[in-house]
A and B are shown apart, each in its own frame.
Chain A
Amino acid sequence: MHNHIFEQYTRNDKSSLIPLLQEVQAIYGYLPEDALKDVADYVGLPLSRVYGVATFYNQFRLSALGENVIRVCRGTACHVKNSANLLFALENTLNIKAGETTKDKKFTIELVNCIGACSIAPVITVNDEYYGRITTKDIPSIIKKYAAKPAKGVQPANVTEEVA
């Protein structure tokens, strides 16, 4: 499914690594292991280096997103308003860490640096909906709401974001 992406790149050119990873992610929404191996082979780098790059940049994901994507803002304003506690509560309730997806594929937790809604800090978003000025007490009911209903309109994370 991803073999065609190599056509526009020369073999063993290490500088095509990041564009190739972006293309792979555009196809699958994340970087499947097989595709990562193919990219490593093609650019002539060890898989460990490619994995290192893929885990260094926030724009890349190594697992498929769940039906519902919860984004926790860890920007300065939210941090001051204790967004860390929201994150803990989410992680504990769903039994996964940030960046991971639950076994039933219902939820993924992601961290974002600033959602741009500082006035209602601390903020989390679930899919396209915003939840501002919340506390850990609100977490169970929010999760419950999505656990029941089928999700709609989930986009793969930031595939086009520029490399920092």
Chain B
Amino acid sequence: MVELSINKIKVKAEDNMTILDAAKSVGISIPTLCHIKDLIPSGACRICSVEVEGFRNLVPACAYPVSEGMTVETNSARVRRARKTIVELLVENHPQDCLICVRNKNCELQNLAERYSLREHRFHGETKDHAVDISSPSLERDPAKCILCGRCVRVCNEVQKIGAIDFANRGFQSNVTTPYNKGINVSDCILCGQCILVCPTAALRERSAMKEVSSALESRNKYTIAQIAPAVRATLGEEYNLPLGTDVTGKLVTGLRRLGFKKVFDTNFAADLTIWEEANELIQRISNNEPLPMFTSCCPGWVKFIEHNYPDLLQYVSSCKSPHEMEGAIAKTYYAKKLGISPKDVFVVSVMPCTVKKFEASRPELNEHKLQDVDAVLTTRELVRFFEVAGIDFADLNDSEFDNPLGESTGAAAIFGTSGGVMEAALRNAYHTLTGEHLENMELNAIRGLEGVKETTIKIGELDVNVAVVNGIGNIRQILDDLRSGNSKYHFIEVMACPGGCINGGGQPIHQKTDKVVQRMRALYEIDKKMVKRRSYENESIKTLYKEYFVEPGSHVSHEVLHTHFHSRKS
């Protein structure tokens, strides 16, 4: 412990704490831009400058450790002037179009301009002029809005370990881009959107599908169906200042109906179905002595990653479509037939926590009779914009229930949205299929939580099943390298590209509140806990679905409609 003084307040701090954290502990906020919690400071932007007695130059608080007897001033005229100048320079080199910007009112640059009371334009100079990269169906890059903080570069390189984007060129030309400034769609980017979540401005943003969805809702010939991913219900409330981890399922259903969707279904239904199919596939692979481990396939970011980087291992990935694709496929086959409408008229909109799902929905493999299974994907953030335009006061909405039959689900499906959830759900099912008994201890704490790689062994009958749960795509390489060299002890591995799983997906609300991932996880586990039925095999609508249409898991029809294939994208 050391003692120092910050703005004449005595502060006790841990030895290796930065000035930034020590100040925070006594309620003094120092602005940051390039800083990312838990990553080594880069000290690039200097917005966090403070004065330290005995130092001639200002010191970056995010990078500088405290020491005994230090005297820090975070609010002197000199500090304020320095920070204000930095903000002014950034603002002058930034398009002045806040009013029509997707991040208006949720922009760190805007906040800083306000915080340092910028009231005039003091500098005038050349501004950046770069084309917007709209090459991908998932995300857009608008380099003119980039303030070169480097947060996206660091998340992509150090957390996700993809390295799709980096700084290029120098001086005024310096920018963040893909190799050869080609579109993001031809890079190794997996479109996870983690970079969007850390970008302080709108330089990185999702590619919006709002236009397509609006016109479908207006068209008289379209039978519009909405479905909601497990993770969206645990986060959307944040956009309305509800506490982190508030479950807003019922309001979401009401809101989507008010937008004009004919049916509001639950992706959780298809999550249960995925478990039937996936657990069955696992059991088949084990009993037929096929190569193991089997990897889950519900995360399209993970699938894109392995297609780019380890295509030789694609045979290990489950052939199941992801839940929202299954839901869409059923809507356009079984359900359309039941209703007597043409699949051509069905328009399926998935509300997802994810940017890669937009890319996934456009995969040519994912269609029935030349119709894409899912017609449009909206992120959590885009749905909020829909509610705004429609004048829906979300926080005041009453709850309603999903439409059936594609709306029934169990607790096992609810936890699909968090890292470890798919595994837990699958084990509950596999246990029952193999032993005929219910897995009593349903809460597998070893595979819950934030750890990047979690593992456990569970005894199913005579068999010790070794499972691993990986979240944050940067953590998967080691496991794949081991598998390549023939050292894998696992039977089943769940992979989610985003750290924490879909609850922290690239389409989720953007803010830097600590604890958000933990609170969102908790929300999903609570939904599971409250359910009477917590195992996918207890879903009655799915039993009917098999009786009326798919016969049994892994049947011919199920392979046609619910399974898919992958291919190498190695360049």
* A158, B310: Cα distance in complex, Å: 39
* A108, B374: Cα distance in complex, Å: 49
**Chain A, Cβ-Cβ closest to B163:** A46
Contact B188 A51 (CB under 8 A): no
Q: Which residues of chain B come closer than 8 Å to A45, judged between CB atoms?
A: 163
Interface string of B419-458 (1 = CB under 8 A from A): 0000000000000000000000000000000000000000
Q: Which residues of chain A come closer than 8 Å to B166, judged between CB atoms?
A: 46, 48-49, 51-52
Q: Which residues of chain A come closer than 8 Å to B75, judged between CB atoms?
A: none
Consensus secondary structure, chain B interface: loop
In the complex, 6 of the A-B residue pairs with CB atoms within 8 angstroms, ordered by the A residue number, are A33-B180, A47-B179, A48-B164, A48-B165, A48-B178, A49-B157
* A56, B170: Cα distance in complex, Å: 5
Which B positions have Cβ atoms within 8 angstroms of A?
157, 162-170, 177-180, 187-188, 571
**Chain B, Cβ-Cβ closest to A40:** B179
**Chain B, Cβ-Cβ closest to A54:** B168
* A46, B177: Cα distance in complex, Å: 13
Contact B165 A55 (CB under 8 A): no
The reply to whether the CB of A62 lies closer than 8 angstroms to some CB of chain B is: yes
Q: Which residues of chain B come closer than 8 Å to A49, judged between CB atoms?
A: 157, 163, 166
Q: How many A-B contacts if CB must be within 8 Å?
A: 42
A43 to chain B, nearest CB (A): 12
Q: A51-B168, A52-B166, A55-B170 are in contact. List 7 more A-B contacts (CB 8 A).
A: A45-B163, A46-B157, A46-B163, A46-B188, A49-B157, A55-B169, A62-B180
* A62, B178: Cα distance in complex, Å: 14
* A150, B558: Cα distance in complex, Å: 68
* A56, B178: Cα distance in complex, Å: 14
Q: Which residues of chain A come closer than 8 Å to B169, judged between CB atoms?
A: 55-56
Consensus secondary structure, chain A interface: helix
Q: Which of A1-52 contact B (CB under 8 A)?
A: 33, 36-37, 45-52
**Chain B, Cβ-Cβ closest to A50:** B179
Q: Which residues of chain B come closer than 8 Å to A52, judged between CB atoms?
A: 166-168
Q: Which residues of chain B come closer than 8 Å to A37, judged between CB atoms?
A: 571
* A150, B357: Cα distance in complex, Å: 55
Contact-size category for A: 10 to 19
* A56, B169: Cα distance in complex, Å: 5
Contact B163 A48 (CB under 8 A): yes
* A55, B171: Cα distance in complex, Å: 11
A111 to chain B, nearest CB (A): 11
Q: Which of A36, A46, A56, A62 contacts B162 (CB 8 A)?
A: A46
Q: Which residues of chain A come closer than 8 Å to B180, judged between CB atoms?
A: 33, 51, 62
**Chain B, Cβ-Cβ closest to A57:** B170
Q: Which residues of chain A come closer than 8 Å to B188, judged between CB atoms?
A: 46-47
Q: Which residues of chain B come closer than 8 Å to A48, judged between CB atoms?
A: 163-166, 168, 177-179, 187
A62 to chain B, nearest CB (A): 7
* A52, B166: Cα distance in complex, Å: 6
Q: Which residues of chain B come closer than 8 Å to A36, judged between CB atoms?
A: 179
B58 to chain A, nearest CB (A): 27
* A62, B162: Cα distance in complex, Å: 23
B476 to chain A, nearest CB (A): 16
> When A and B form their complex, which 8 residue pairs have the shortest distance between CB atoms, in order from nearest?
A46-B163, A48-B166, A51-B179, A52-B166, A47-B179, A55-B168, A52-B168, A55-B169
B18 to chain A, nearest CB (A): 27
* A62, B182: Cα distance in complex, Å: 14
* A47, B163: Cα distance in complex, Å: 8
* A59, B157: Cα distance in complex, Å: 26
Q: Which residues of chain A come closer than 8 Å to B165, judged between CB atoms?
A: 48
B317 to chain A, nearest CB (A): 23
B170 to chain A, nearest CB (A): 5
* A132, B139: Cα distance in complex, Å: 49
Interface string of A74-117 (1 = CB under 8 A from B): 00000000000000000000000000000000000000000000
Q: Which residues of chain A come closer than 8 Å to B164, judged between CB atoms?
A: 46, 48
Q: Which residues of chain A come closer than 8 Å to B163, judged between CB atoms?
A: 45-49
* A55, B165: Cα distance in complex, Å: 14
B262 to chain A, nearest CB (A): 44
Q: Which residues of chain A come closer than 8 Å to B178, judged between CB atoms?
A: 48
Contact A56 B157 (CB under 8 A): no
Q: Which residues of chain A come closer than 8 Å to B571, judged between CB atoms?
A: 37
Q: Which residues of chain A come closer than 8 Å to B168, judged between CB atoms?
A: 48, 51-52, 55-56
* A36, B124: Cα distance in complex, Å: 38
A77 to chain B, nearest CB (A): 20
* A45, B165: Cα distance in complex, Å: 12
A24 to chain B, nearest CB (A): 15
* A47, B164: Cα distance in complex, Å: 8
**Chain B, Cβ-Cβ closest to A164:** B170
B358 to chain A, nearest CB (A): 22
**Chain A, Cβ-Cβ closest to B162:** A46
B78 to chain A, nearest CB (A): 32
**Chain A, Cβ-Cβ closest to B178:** A48
**Max chain B Cβ within 10 angstroms of own Cβ: one of A47, A51, A52, A56:** A52
* A2, B166: Cα distance in complex, Å: 25
* A37, B188: Cα distance in complex, Å: 12
Q: Which residues of chain B come closer than 8 Å to A50, judged between CB atoms?
A: 179
**Max chain A Cβ within 10 angstroms of own Cβ: one of B164, B170, B179:** B179
A90 to chain B, nearest CB (A): 18
B212 to chain A, nearest CB (A): 31
Q: Which residues of chain A come closer than 8 Å to B187, judged between CB atoms?
A: 47-48
